[in-house]
Structure 1
Amino acid sequence: MFILPEEVTLIEVGPRDGLQNESKHVQEKDKIAFIHALQEAGITEMELTSFVSPKWVPQMADAAHIVKKTKKVGKQIVLAPNEKGANLALEAGARSIAVFVGVSNSFNKNNINRTTDESIEALKPVILKLKEQGIYVRACISTAFYCPFEGKINPDSVVELCLRFIEMGIDELSVADTVGRANPRESFELFKKLIDELPNVLLTAHFHDTRKMALANIFAAMQAGIDRFDSSAGGLGGCPFSPGATGNVATEDVAHMMDSLNIHTGISVKKVCEAVAVIAPHVSHPIDTGMYRLFLNAQL
């Protein structure tokens, strides 16, 4: 017998994680139109942008403008990888900030030229300062299942890294299958372990759809007790520091699956597809998710 939640929260990551690796420059006005269309679809938690070096992620150079110009609806999260990014985010008016560290040392070295331990130690004073100011802090745990350089990750290492963040007082952990290699058994086992060993912690699952396993992995995570999932409208995304990783699981497809299971999300699948139609002309590749295809064919 399936054990499923009555309600699920989808955290939209398209404007940030979805566009960060986009090779075609997306103009600020088009990003804002995309964000507002997603809000109209009923999305109340969203990653808007990143305060990162425009040298490394030029797509996010307009981060401050995005924060200032978007309508304030629900929880608006921005990524800040270090103290400089956090300070810029605060100056722009951000009240919810995400930080990230990979479980894998190799991933961290390729991403920010630091080991996992070095990354955590560098973030500790940043997180403590943010919490002193009453800022909501979301910690993104990359490569929780597989690393593109090291292969399979030990689940105990994931728990250990999560515990270090919890000790700093973070509000949420987003645990990611960055490479998109996890299978449903691994999804269930890791999230069951995290729930058992980290009680009373807000946990979110983040799946990439590299091998078309994301929806199955989400279903397995729900069986383990997870009711929060990152997703990206149009399946946009891909990690610039993870070779071979493709887009995130599509918001419209996840929302449709939840609808079909009678699980409440508060999100309109049709309006998410309308938001995808807003951004589709401005990205470098065709968008071909299941529900968006039906929308374009007037079958939704």
Structure 2
Amino acid sequence: MHADFVKVVEVGPRDGLQNEKILVPTGIKVALIDQLSDAGFVNIEAASFVSPKWVPQMADGAQVMAGIRRRPGTLYSALTPNMKGLEAALAAGVDEVVIFGAASEAFSQKNINCSIAESMARFAPVASAAKAHGLRLRASVSCALGCPYQGEVPVSAVAEVVRGMRELGCDEIDIADTIGVGTPEKVREVMRAASTEFPRAALSGHFHDTYGHALANVVASLEAGIRIFHSSVAGLGGCPYAEGATGNVATESLLRLLQDMGLETGIDLGKVVVAAQFVSEAVGKR
């Protein structure tokens, strides 16, 4: 990857919309993804194959994947927490599956009802089957910079989870500030530790903007050599298990920052702004 190029993973259609209180129609999701594809994203998190009992907003993943116009060169990803989810993702023709663990024992118990070690064991058959089917495998490490239940998360705990995800065969690993408590100094420390266990070029920053630190944390990550970031169009999102957590950093804000720093993304900012206006109106937000 060129040193001046930054890969932006658009997570709004999944991470952004899953926390909306009103049920977003399938057609709106499809239209949003098509607009984002047209804007030039090389990776869009499009669906989630989790139990509709837990995340009813994502129950139409198969219909969404069937309805979108696929842009050549774009990876369309989906969350797959278990074998049932993986089978649904395979049937839907996703390009990349995403497994999600946590660096916090307390969050792991609250979020997926098991310990970190148990979560790794659960992900093993999913990871193995994904690789056997030639799918790209990505992992997300939640609460890498702080937890709503236990507070501080040791840097060593993040590194340990990253090591476990590496051993599962992941192609890319996200370092996620799920509740937005990260600071630039802590981000640099965590990214350095993570990069001792996994190639820096395949680590990504996933920052929520709860306290307005997300862009500063992006800059700190760039200084640490990270060149992949997640963002959500119109700043949609949050976390159902982390009360008060705002959405991911807004894609428009991230693109503007990267543009001002002279970094390339290959994404049309004007088209992203139009998509942001579209989805904001669709879900009734300013």
TM-score, scaled to structure 2: 0.96
Residue aligning to 2:118: 118
- Identical-residue share of aligned pairs (%): 41
Distance 1:87 1:7 in 2: 34
- 1:68 maps to 2:95: no
Residue aligning to 2:28: 30
Residue aligning to 1:247: 247
Give how far 1:151 is off: 0.6
57, 60, 76: which one aligns with 1:59: 57
Structure 1 residues 146 and 200: CA distance shift in structure 2, 3 A: closer
Give how far 1:95 is off: 2.5
Q: How does 1:185-224 map to 2 (within 5 A)?
A: 185-199=185-199, 202-224=202-224
The answer to which of 63-72 and 229-238 deviates more is: 63-72
Give how far 1:32 is off: 0.8
User: Structure 1: any 5+ residue segments left out of the alignment?
Assistant: 287-300
SS state at 1:146 partner: coil
User: Structure 2: any 5+ residue segments left out of the alignment?
Assistant: none
User: Residue 22 of structure 1 contacts residue 284 of structure 1 at CA under 8 Å; is this kept in 2?
Assistant: no
Give how far 1:111 is off: 1.1
Give how far 1:81 is off: 1.1
User: Residue 173 of structure 1 contacts residue 202 of structure 1 at CA under 8 Å; is this kept in 2?
Assistant: yes
Distance 2:270 2:42 in 1: 16
Give how far 1:284 is off: 4.4
Give how far 1:200 is off: 6.2
User: Residue 10 of structure 1 contacts residue 229 of structure 1 at CA under 8 Å; is this kept in 2?
Assistant: yes
Deviation by residue 1:237-274 (Cα, 9 ceiling, x = unmatched)? 00111222110000010000111111001112211010
Distance 1:245 1:5 in 2: 32
Distance 2:258 2:88 in 1: 37
SS state at 1:147 partner: coil
Give how far 1:68 is off: 1.4
The answer to which of 61-70 and 10-19 deviates more is: 61-70
Distance 1:252 1:42 in 2: 13
Distance 1:168 1:201 in 2: 18
Residue aligning to 2:109: 109
User: Residue 24 of structure 1 contacts residue 282 of structure 1 at CA under 8 Å; is this kept in 2?
Assistant: no
Residue aligning to 1:159: 159
Residue aligning to 1:268: 268
TM-score, scaled to structure 1: 0.91
Distance 1:111 1:156 in 2: 21
- 1:7 maps to 2:5: yes
Distance 1:257 1:30 in 2: 28
Give how far 1:93 is off: 1.3
Q: Which amino acid aligns with 1:11?
A: V
Distance 1:162 1:14 in 2: 24
32, 40, 43: which one aligns with 2:41: 43
Give how far 1:62 is off: 0.6
Give how far 1:192 is off: 2.0
Q: Which amino acid aligns with 1:250?
A: A
Distance 1:239 1:149 in 2: 13
Q: What do you get for the CA RMSD once the two structures are aligned?
A: 1.4
